[in-house]
Structure 1
Amino acid sequence: MSLPTLIDLPPALETLGNQALQRFGEAAGTLGDSPATPFADWPPARRAAFARVCANSGFVLERALRDPAMLLQLAGDGSLERSLAPDELCGQLAALLADCAQEEELGRRLRRFRHRQQVRIVWRDIMRQADLAETCRDLSELADACIDLACDWLYERLRARFGTPLGRRSGRPQRLVVLGMGKLGAGELNLSSDIDLIFAYPEGGETDGERRSLDNQEFFVRLGQKLIGALDAITVDGQAFRVDMRLRPYGSSGPLVHSFGAMEQYYQDQGRDWERYAMIKARVVGGDREAGRQLLELLRPFVYRRYLDFSAIEALRDMKQLIRQEVRRKGMADNVKLGAGGIREVEFVAQVFQLIHGGRDRSLQRRSLLEVLATLEGQGYLPPAAVAELREGYEFLRYTEHALQAIADRQTQMLPDNELDRARVACMLGCAGWEAFLGRLAHWRERIDSHFRQVIAVPGEDEASEGRPVDAQWLPLWENGGDEAAVCRQLVEAGFADPQQVRQRLAALRGGSQVRGMQRLGRERLDAFIPQLLARVVEQDAPDLVLERVLPLVEAVARRSAYLVLLTENPGALRRLLSLCAASPWIAEQIARFPLLLDQLLNEDRLYSPPQEAELVAELRELLLRIPEDDLEQQMEALRHFKLAHRLRVAASEIAGTLPLMKVSDYLTWLAEAILDQALRLAWRQMVVRHGNPRRSDGSPCELDFLIVGYGKVGGIELGHGSDLDLVFIHDGNPQAETDGAKPIDGAQFFTRLGQRIVHLLTAQTPSGQLYEVDMRLRPSGNAGLLVSSLGAFRRYQEHEAWTWEHQALVRARALVGSPRLAAAFAEVRAQVLGRPRDLAVLRREVGDMRAKMRASLGTSSTAAGTAENAFEATVSFNLKQDAGGIVDIEFMVQYAALAWSHQHPELLRYTDNIRILDGLAQAGLLPCDEVRLLQEAYKTYRAAAHRLALQKQPGVVGGDRFRDERRAVMRIWRELGLS
């Protein structure tokens, strides 16, 4: 939202402001020869600003009257009218403490510095010279400076007395690490916040004092106690910051300071859900910052789980329920932080996504709430409209919180109950009066609470409120099987065809080793999920089939019950799961093998709307940028997760009818190309790091002078759901020249190893499977040839040694990823090879002979590959791909035509997919348009049937009575071309 508007002061506040101006003038007049700008010289605008600020903030007036010179100096040096530079606060405090010699004096200077800066910050906030971000940043940097510099000052005094604490194992000096939690950690401190701190030190040992040494634990406990006293103790100068140490391990009952090892052990063994929530915002605010970063990295696995952790919703819901009970008990409904639709609910919405997805999506590992909201929008976790309302509502509440605290520098989020403070709050929020303010507040709290309930809702409450059947009726069947006759009757009435089989399947699951070995929490989650599953299964047209397909998934994730929570917490995701399982056993099997795919079911719009090619490439590139360059294992897993997720989205869209066949192949091909591009870049970077850059023939370093060429389905942009990749690798380096790295190898070795590494990245089996099966047999000389060829060797082979069938394959070959210069050169070679004149009689004979061999070895034997008289009977089979009149016949005719006529019609080589080559044949008048359309429609019909069969996990075979007209027409055109 924009800054609250400055409005005219209402009469009561205007009177207060004038009185404050008069009182300050009297106090400032007693200063005598003050070096600051005299009050008498203040311009009217500054006097009006002072009156406005003091009318709204009794705190500023009190500090101004108590120390008028301080305010005059702030006004005189321009601090009230400008933003501070980064680290400026730290520099000012460092200069102030430079000659400080006594601990008591340290506390006094810290307090006076804090009061001075607090006046400046409140002034700029009320005058709308600083927005919310600047105010929070200044407050957080103020706390950081006080903590860090006080810690350093006290450390040096203790070290002078007891010696330097040394690590027992490392022998290195040890320093305290101060973690800031909550709003301080996030850099979002409010005007009168306490500061939540945790103290730690790297390792045990003792100090090296000459007279007396201390155990490191005792040394740092003393340091921590003194630091708390320097900040928290109330003296005649007031208090710098209220310090809260209750977020440390074991809370108030635990040691004040812990070693890193003790911290890691505690969070690993005893860390609770609310501590994960708190640790999201942890930041090093004082002491040894490098060691602090190591500590946070050590604790990262506790905060961000590597899997989708939907149990976070349960934890946050429980926390919110406790907060609401406390709000009701203490009558705090008017608390803008803890009440319904308050600040905490916005924080919970953001943090639930962080806890669930943050382990896999590092872009969510942020402390700032507004940055997290922007990520949730950018990554598609929440719709833009929802994020906009959460952001604006949060900012309004934070401005309200600051207004409440600016009045008296008191930590409160409760709406005032007196007319004066109500007038102040309304004025600071730019509202005409209290009722107008309450109207805006109610609007934003209602919108925030609505979004909160959508994200962290109690599952099933909507269904219950609408009078739908509850899931409890299915609980007896799951728990003990119930009375057999009654249960069977219930199952039949619900739509199951074989109730005994259903009971047996559930009993097998209940008695299986996976369920028997579950821990108590996991079993509770399973017991909550199964009744809900059964209630949703009976909504399907074929509940027996759906249950049969989904139970393997339940068994697969039983020991990882966070996935059960995902489905329990998201009824929409469960319904989408069951619909997809009903439509495709292939999808059911994929999700059972890779439960991480359940994440894709959460967002219906994303599930049925795969991204376009450019978006796909950008998404994968951004995903890999979040992973350290040297973490090959995580990079390989990320590539596999990406492929699995997007392949599921394409399959779901195909089933839903939102993606036609040709687009399905487009998307699957784009997906393969995006993955190949990143695999090449990863492999190249790894090789260059180890061996340096290879050289070109002219001696210059190669810059990704490598090309991956796709043949077959990937070359023809016709990939299916389970297609492998036919690839050929080409380079343009000098095979003899050595690389320029620390471990040089010759160019031939470099490119061979590069090719091997690419194949390994694609084919290696990891917990998430392999990316693709890769077939390299179409390279020059096949399996007997080099894995990677130079462009010159590739040209020579194609011109002098390649067989006709290899030139047929070249028709569908195209550059997929790699060097654009090399891709253009490959296209020239391809055009030259394919575009040369051929003896048509010889060509027809060789193409026909190759096709005959394929039919004999791969076609349906009982029908002589579809050529026998009985080939069209229902009792026999038709192989969509290999039998006569099928897919390969059409492909061979297209390839024959390209080889036969491209020397006269080079435009036939422009494309590599069959449909567009057929278009070219029609446009050139080489085939009648009617026959081209017939071949295209037959080709698409066959491929659509093959896709459907693949999603049903069935081979590409149908009854012999299917597609009779198409097959006869294809066979007729085959004969007319003279290929028989």
Structure 2
Amino acid sequence: MTTAPGRRSSTFTRLLRHGFTDPSAAEQLLGLDALASVRFDPVLLEALGATADPDLALRGLVRIVEAGAEDERQVLLDTLITAKPLRDRLLGVLGASEALGDHLARHPRDWQALVTYEAVDLNPQVAEFERGLADAVDPDSLRVAYRRCLLTLAARDVCGTTGLAQTAAELADLATATLRAALAIARTAAPQDAAQCRLAVVAMGKCGGQELNYVSDVDVIFVAEARDGTEENRAVQAATRLAAHMMRICSDTTVEGTIWPVDANLRPEGRNGPLVRTLSSHLAYYERWAKTWEFQALLKARAVAGDLELGAEYVEAVSPLVWQAADRDNFVPDVQQMRRRVVENIPADRIDRELKLGPGGLRDVEFAVQLLQLVHGRSDAALRSGTTLEALRALADGGYVGRADAAQLDEAYRFLRSMEHRIQLYRLRRTHLVPDDEADLRRLGRSLGMRTEPVAELTRAWKRHTSVVRRLHEKIFYRPLLDAVAQLAPAESRLSAKAAAHRLEALGYADPSAALRHLEALSSGVSRKAAIQRTLLPVLLGWFADSADPDAGLLGFRKVSDALGKTPWYLRLLRDEGAAAENLARVLSAGRLAPDLLMRAPEAVAILGDPEGLRPRTREHLEQEVLAAVGRADGAESAVAVVRGVRRRELFRTTAADLIGSYGTEESPAEQDHGALVDRVGSAVSDLNAATIAGALRAAVRARWGETLPTRFAVIGVGRFGGHELSYGSDADVLFVHQPREGVGDEEASKAANTVISEMRRLLQLPTADPPLLIDADLRPEGKSGPLVRTLKSYEAYYRRWSLVWESQALLRAEPIAGDAELGRGFIDLIDPLRYPVEGLGDDAVREIRRLKARMESERMPRGADPTLHVKLGRGGLSDVEWTVQLMQMQHGWAEPGLRTTRTREALAAACAAGLIPTEEAQTLDEAWVLASRVRNAVMLVRGRPGDTFPSDAREMTAVGRYLGYEPGHVGDMLDDYRRITRRARAVMEERFYGASS
């Protein structure tokens, strides 16, 4: 067919106006002989233009017309023009679903299923769908009949005849009818099996809740009982064969496609458990072994096929267990784990397009509703609905969720589910991803009624609704609690004290009564302060609940708020700086050390809102601040009080950065560089203690001698201090060296040096609530028996004549940290030949080091300590790794400059680079050392006091686990991993240390 240029131009414009994106192709299709009788009919063009995708609808129509017989073709076209209901339905489906267009092209007569428009057609239920499937006698005919029924259902949906909830319910009813038909086919194929057993099919998930998607796994559980005269085991085997056959009928893919997969993995023991169980077997499992998520799944259980009486018995029997789930001991950690697991399983490149599992997605609404049902449904039967929107409405009616919040969630959920439906309807594929193709987004937006700028309108609406869900996800748990204690809402719509306590318990609060008192103190009243707290607390309470100790977090927040509540910047900081509030919540609920530091200086909260606030200060910066403060102070004790204030603030900065970096980050534990975190803490604490000692030294000198001590004086850090590897609870191991100034006698100089040491120690040990800084000089020559301080010449004489190999080893990590810098360098020049001996160690020295290590292992391990879990002296712990590295340093440091470092990890890397240890073995030692260091830091952060073993208290152990990246309930995994990693390190140590040649 040819068209005049003017005609073509006019048609092209008309097609554009009607929403076609490819008018040239559409014009060609409309010019086909098959459409001659309706070509360019304005009624047809208007109807096509009203569809989600006019181009797709026209292509689908052409395929149906061309596939049908000539007489049927004309009937269809005539009916399209004269019958608006059919026109809207058929073209609406063709414009929204390529898959249903394919079905109609294969079965061109099935369009006749869309002709009727009677009252019963507007609300079909299971019985009507069963009639639609009645003629199906084999799997293929069932698939065809299923698609025909789905066609009618989709037509009502796209035409707006049914809403979201009704469409989802119809999909569940169609699934129910299909399961019944598939089971009937299976029974017909194996009548002997059918005769031996009663088999019930119980729907779970969205099918059970009568809120199914277009394409979704249909979750089921199978229950069987023997018929009279049949042995139970044989009956279960027969039922298993029937169930498996039924699943294949629905799940197999043929030329007619797939109906949908039947998923039985929600059964006891999942895919590892038997497909079919008796009722008593189900109950035995649920009463002894089931996890919280299994009871959450059972909330939607509904008998749908097979022996409905047996299915109803199953649902009745498990129902009490569902509503007792919140009383189980592991309910809280299970819930926390379920909430985190969802997000962790989403690929990073898809999380922003995930309708179901992404932030603000469908699962956030469903999880929140189901959790509140489990908590409050045990005492309120009105909440026990398997349908999300019905349950949300019941929660609002009962005051468990604010009515305005429930209305917003309802609207958002309906919109997101509608998006999900239309995305799946297009190709009838199981997906929850929002497309990123412009044409797909245009069709999706138009299918939801957005016609002016469908892509932009859709994107705005989608983001708005996910934002609402994100905002309300935590708020709906906690806002009613605040309304209850603040007594601002009407009494009839407030939670009762009992319901509030139940909710707090379910969210991890061990003392709900105390928690409610704190909430009342923080949020009651009509002041601006209380109003801001009511805005902040719903989110903060969620962060606290996600920690190992929610009660401590809330108590700490109340204390900080009491201290700073009248300070204008405090609440403004938390309200306006998003990171500050979350950082504060993480820090307050992670253990005792950081909150204790903050309580002593609440104004340090400001650190948490500064993007640079968590970055550790350099030693030079700290020393400048400390020495300037000492210079301004009136007296030594007031000077050291100021120095302690700086140390307290900076220790809080370091602990906060460590906690937030360890588990307040978006990275998963596996992605974090734990070595870098350990190094950062070690350097920060070492620099801070060095600055503190420098300040105490200056204060001690000024108090007695003014600005100049009669002798030059230096403090040398050794052990972890010199290695920049201090943990939070480490002592400061030091050596003291002095050199008389010109004209000062040895006796006067020595007396001055000893006096200043005593004064430094006194000042640093004045009673205080701050973590102590203990100066330990026991690594000096002759140990506790030797003088506290020596001259450089005295050190040289001692080391030349009397030094033992262990002293050379101790000097490997010696580094000046305070006092006279030139004298400190002189000391290092003195000891370098000792710790890095030319030509390395002799055989006798190596044997002596090994003997000392073996003796330490046998004598210094605390009585009763588990050697596999002691991080310092235990198997594969800090000592094993450090002695191995230090032996290599003493043997090869003279020849390998990279080994001449005080830092363990740097020396190990240098040894590996020099070929002294294989890469895999070096990595094994490094991993063990980093892990042991992290455990040591974690113990101090959690308990507020140092320790070299895992805590025995369950809550403290959980907190240590959280710091190390383990979910609640996985303490056993943490200990197993620690033992495994350190066992491998011990094997390397035994080979490299005890088995190494000199």
Please give the TM-score of this superposition, normalised by the length of structure 1. 0.43
Q: Structure 1 or 2: larger helix share? A: 2
* TM-score after normalising by structure 2: 0.43
